[in-house]
Amino acid sequence: MNSFSYYVAEDFLKREINCFDFNVPTIIDQIKEEDFSSIKSKIIRCFSGNVECTVLDERGNPTEVRARELGYKERFIIKASNFLSRDYYSFGDLLEIIRKLRDPDGCPWDRVQTHNSIKNNAIEEAYELAEAIDLDDTEKLIEESGDVLLQGLFHAVIAEDSRRFNANDLINGLCHKLVSRHTHVFGEQKAPDAHEALKSWEKAKSKEKNQNELIDKINSVPVTFGALMRAFKVQKIIKKTGFDFPNPDSAKQKITEELLELDLAEFEKEKEWEGGDLLFAVINYLRMLGIDPETSLNATTNRFINRFLYVEKKSKELGFELSSNNMDLMEKYYQESKEHEDSTWNNKKEQN
């Protein structure tokens, strides 16, 4: 007997998890005419408008119709689709594609990858996702979110080969973690706002990981974090003990102190030490202002790149060399680019 998925229309509409198996036929039955529009919309959203459906005509003969062309019927079947001819894929398909890439007849590059060889990819993809968010680019956001998802699943498929764990273990662990840490959602005690929700999450996390001592929480911050991010995370942990500046102005004053100590440093190692103290003080000040230093510095670097590319463009147009001999010209066009950037930013603020 061929396998299939069967849904009463009401259950199909109420289904909270919209991951369907495209490899078997899906039967939707007992459709009420007033619910048909919602049923059709959900099919197009979850299966695509091009998916073929089988309906019976007045004589009981089967007819093939694209989902977007469906008219009301009490019952119809969404046909299983050929894997390579689909224009819409599901979560399960993604896992099968990754497994296929790792098969002996799959991709030579994917076959030889290990946890270690692709570990930096996750970092790169996370930064590209952050950039897509900053750009507010929907298509890029979809693409980069998918690339981040791919990294976790790729590790799961690599682990399957040695029977360490699989994708189901990964998803199961994540679901358990989300449920156990959201005690304010899945438990009796509720959180009235985002601040209380975060406190509840952190309390549940500490209990789950047996982080009873301060050192446990500090050691939970990965040493593989970037220096800015690691300092920021450690400062946030220490802050909860009460050891913090009373206000941002005090943190700002510390920057001046550290800058003076750097100026007075004589030896190379001493300068490195004081330079680190200065950066740490700046991160403290930004934290107290509610600014993420990693995000802030990345945005500044992007602005600097764009401004200097404008300088380079002008140098090609006007025929001057990029060198210290033309510092006045370079500074002029750097400031010109900055003024244009400020004007664009002000226009955006006015529109909002």
State the pairing for strand pair 26-29/5-8.
Answer: parallel
pLDDT number for residue 24? 84
110's tokens:
């994917």
Average pLDDT per run of 10 along the chain, which is 352 residues long? Answer: 79 77 86 91 86 81 88 88 76 87 92 92 88 88 94 94 90 89 83 81 75 79 85 90 92 94 93 94 94 88 91 92 92 90 64 56
Residue with tokens 């358990």: 176
Burial of 147 (0-12, 13-18, 19+ CB in 10 A): middle
pTM of the model: 0.61
pLDDT number for residue 1? 43
Residue from 24, 6, 27 nearest 82 by CA: 24
Cβ-proximal residues to 128 (8 Å cutoff; 6+ apart), any chain: 144, 147
Structural domains of the chain ordered from first start = 5-82 (no CATH), 91-165 (1.10.287.1080), 293-351 (no CATH)
Cβ-proximal residues to 118 (8 Å cutoff; 6+ apart), any chain: 151, 154, 155
Phi-psi group of 30: left, alpha or beta (phi > 0 → left; psi -120 to 50 → alpha; rest → beta): left
**Three-class secondary structure assignment of the chain:** CCCCEEEEHHHHHHCCCCCCCCCCCEEEECCCHHHHHHHHHHHHHHHCCCCEEEEECCCCCEEEEEHHHCCCCCCEEECCCCHHHCCCCCHHHHHHHHHHHHCCCCCHHHHCCCCCCCHHHHHHHHHHHHHHHHHCCHHHHHHHHHHHHHHHHHHHHHHHHCCCCCHHHHHHHHHHHHHHHCHHHHCCCCCCCHHHHHHHHHHHHHHHCCCCCHHHHHHCCCCCCCHHHHHHHHHHHHHCCCCCCCCHHHHHHHHHHHHHHHHHCCCHHHHHHHHHHHHHHHHHHHHHCCCCHHHHHHHHHHHHHHHHHHHHHHHHHHCCCCCHHHHHHHHHHHHHHHHHHHHHHHHHHHHC
pLDDT number for residue 18? 66
Q: What is the C-alpha separation between 215 and 323, in angstroms, rounded?
A: 51
Q: What is the C-alpha separation between 25 and 211, in angstroms, rounded?
A: 49
